Structure formats: structure tokens, C-alpha cells
Structure 1
Amino acid sequence: MIGIVNYGAGNIFSLTAALDRIQVTHGMINTVEDFGKYSHIIIPGVGHAGTAMKKLQDTGLVDTILALQKPVLGICVGMQLMTSFSEEGNADMLNLFPVKTLHFDKRIKAKVPHMGWNSVRVENNSPLFTDIPDNSYFYFVHSYFIERDEAIVGATCSYDLDFAAAFQKNNFYGVQFHPEKSGKFGEQLLSNFSRF
């Protein structure tokens, strides 16, 4: 059963609709006590990473998230929250992964934001991508990207430069794209996560 961290920064409807389609039971996490109700946790997110981090801090859920032993998946801004630092708001993040979230604008010539479908290359045998063909397409919409670290990268996407489309360490996972908007492969990824 998946608990969705409800801290006011997520596209909750699209995510719950996708979980309904794959028949995965889910509910909302609003308090520390709610974490105990669920076997898996998703941290969604759209918008501004610095603002999202402040919202997460204001909920009082940060220490509990950092201490979680059950599988945790960050989606889009939810993934960026897991990094050490974001240039969006120049703010410290949860520091679950030793990489930074950086702005495309200063580093590429392509249009920003990176929006639409793009292929990802699976790396390190990421279990998120079980039964998903390599170079499958997923839906992205973001102006900031996460540095690649060979030790933790689960998938790479190219948009004038290579960035981490997914990462993983211990029980924590993140995806920069939106699996809930990525058709059958996105649903497969959510299904894979629900079975960890």
C-alpha cells in the first residue's frame, strides 16, 4: 500500500489516477503518524524546489522521511528534494543523495524548460525499470536537472547534456520524469516500485 506525502507541492490527482489504473491501493500522508499505515512512500512534486523544501520542513515530516527504512520514490521535484542542494531557490535539500540540482539555462542551448517525451538509458540494473525496454520514452517537464553520479544513477536522459533521469541508493529512489503521465511504461515503473 502506497502512502503519498501530501505537503502541498504535488500533482496528486494524476498520480492517484495512475495508481488506480494499475490497481495499487494508496492513501495520503499528512502527519508523522500516517507513515506507519503504508509499506511504500511516494514524494510527488511540481513547481519550485526551494519552495517545496520549505513546505516539507513546515509539515514537520523531514526527520521521519530521512529515517525511513521502507521503499521511497521521489517524482520530479520530489526527486530534486532528495539531492544535497538546488540552484532553484539556492536551498539545501534533504541530502539523501550527494548530487546537486542545477539549472539548464546556464549550461545548454536547447529550449528551457525541457518539456515532452524523451528516451532514457537504464543503468546499474535499476529495478525500477524491470520489464521496461531500454531507451523507452517518458514524459518530462523541468527547468532544473540532477547531476549524474555513476554510483547511484538508475537511468540517464540526454538534453544537450546527460543528466540523471533516475537514481537509487538503499531504499530511496527518484525519477525526474512523470511516470503518472508516461503511459504504459510509466505505469509499469509504478507497478515495479509497488512490489519492492
Structure 2
Amino acid sequence: MSQKLLTIIDYGMGNLHSVAKALECVAPNFNIEITNDRARILEADHVVLPGVGAIRDCMAEIRRQKVDEVVVENLASGKPFLGICVGMQALMEHSDENQGVDCLNHFDGRVHRFKSGLVDKHGLPMKVPHMGWNQVRKTSEHPIWHNIASDSHFYFVHSYFVEAHDEYSAGVCNYGTDFAAMIYRDNIFATQFHPEKSADAGLQLLKNFTQWDGTN
């Protein structure tokens, strides 16, 4: 039986190799390939869009390399698609970062910066960026949640958060304010946290993604 193909889109702005290593651990039946080759991305059975850094730079490279067009074609195919961190933010309408950046507009909703002066329940200051482990509460049943308990801990590194419509929400996190930690629609799923850095829960999520057929 031939291996399935999972491509991680390489547009120069992502934690590519750690994502690939994590996927290799949970999906031995897949050929995991980091690539910017349009044909290979469109040929893939599953596609991952990672992202780190400033949204302005990410969106500039996404558009320069025509990744935006590839994403549209992939989404139209119905194949499972996973956005990670800034890869999730890039799917929204607009981000306030870098004086405002228009994104790919696959989800209604915007990306905002955490306010300064946040305090926790003990009155202690909360630093921005939000960095480290935090709980994610399940808000919708979805195959990506299989064998993962609600309120499991995942690893976050971000200063900006997604404000998405409830209809897209699969999981919510709180860091001074509730924000979307997991969103979905049709064959798209995306996480604000880094599943590849999130120990057992993150590996289970990635495994679930590779076993997902793109339907809810």
C-alpha cells in the first residue's frame, strides 16, 4: 500500500522541521514533505500551513509566493487543512498587527493584541506575549478532539489573538480574556497554540488530523 502524502507549506515563515518531526512520530503511514512546490501541495492528501513571526512578513511571503492561491485551491478540493499559530491568524479577515494587515479572509473575524495591564485571578500581572502552557476548553465536538480531554494544556507563544465567531469555535482559551484557540469550518482546522510543542495532547491532535477526512 502506497503512503499518503502530507505537505507542510514552506513559505519561509514557520517552525517547519519540528512540525514535520512531530507528524512523523504519529503518522508513519504518511510521507511528510516540506515544500513550496504548488503541484506537490495540491497533490497532497493533507496540508499544513505553519507560521511564526510578524503577520506582515508572513502575508507578504504568502502573497509573493502565491501561497494564497494554493490555499484557495486546496480548500476547494475538500482535503484536510491545518493552520498553526500565525498560520491560523492568516486565515482571518484582518490583523491589527503592524498597523493593520489584510489576511486571507477564509474566516470572519479579526486578530487583536492582548491589552497591557492584564492581571490574573490573584491580581498578578500577566505578561505579553502569552507564552507557555494554558488550558483549552472544548466548545464544539469535532474529530480533531478525539481522545483529548476538554481543558487539556497546550503550548502558546503569541501577542495577538483571534476573535472569531462562535460558529467557528472548536476550543477557547483564557488569558485575561477569552480568545479562539481552535477554529474550524468544512475541511479547515486551525490552532493558535503549537501542537508540535504540546506533548501528548498536541501529538494526539496531530494524529487526529492525519486520520481526519475533512468532514465534521
CA RMSD of aligned residues (A): 1.3
CA distance in 1, matches of 2:53, 2:117: 20
Distance 1:124 1:14 in 2: 28
TM-score (norm 2): 0.87
The aligned counterpart of 2:12 is: 8
Report the 3-state secondary structure (helix = DSSP H, G, I; strand = E; otherwise coil) of the residue aligned with 1:147: strand
Q: Provide the rounded CA distance (Å) in 2 between the counterparts of 1:85 and 1:108.
A: 23
- Listed as ranges, the gaps of 5+ residues in structure 2 are 120-125
* Count of residue pairs brought into register by the alignment: 196
The partner residue of 2:112 within 94, 102, 109 is 102
Match of 1:75 in 2: 84
Residue 25 of structure 1 deviates from its aligned partner by 2.7
Spell out the pairing of 1:31-180 with structure 2 (5 A cutoff).
31-68=37-74, 69=77, 70-89=79-98, 90-105=100-115, 108-109=118-119, 110-180=126-196
Aligned AA (1:174): A
- Residues 86 and 106 from structure 1, CA distance in 2 versus in 1: closer, same or farther, beyond 3 angstroms? farther
The superposition leaves residues 15-41 of structure 1 with CA deviations (integer Å, 9 ceiling, x where unpaired) of 111112213431023122122331000
Aligned-pair CA distance for 1:107: 7.9
User: Which residue identity is paired with 1:74?
Assistant: G
Deviation at 1:155, TM superposition (A): 0.2
TM-score, normalised relative to structure 1: 0.95
Specify the SS of the correspondent of 2:167. Answer: coil
2: distance between equivalents of 1:30 and 1:92?
22
Alignment-mate amino acid for residue 186 of structure 1? G
Distance in 2, Cα, partners of 1:36 & 1:137: 33
**In structure 2, C-alpha distance between the alignment counterparts of 1:6 and 1:151, rounded to whole Å:** 30
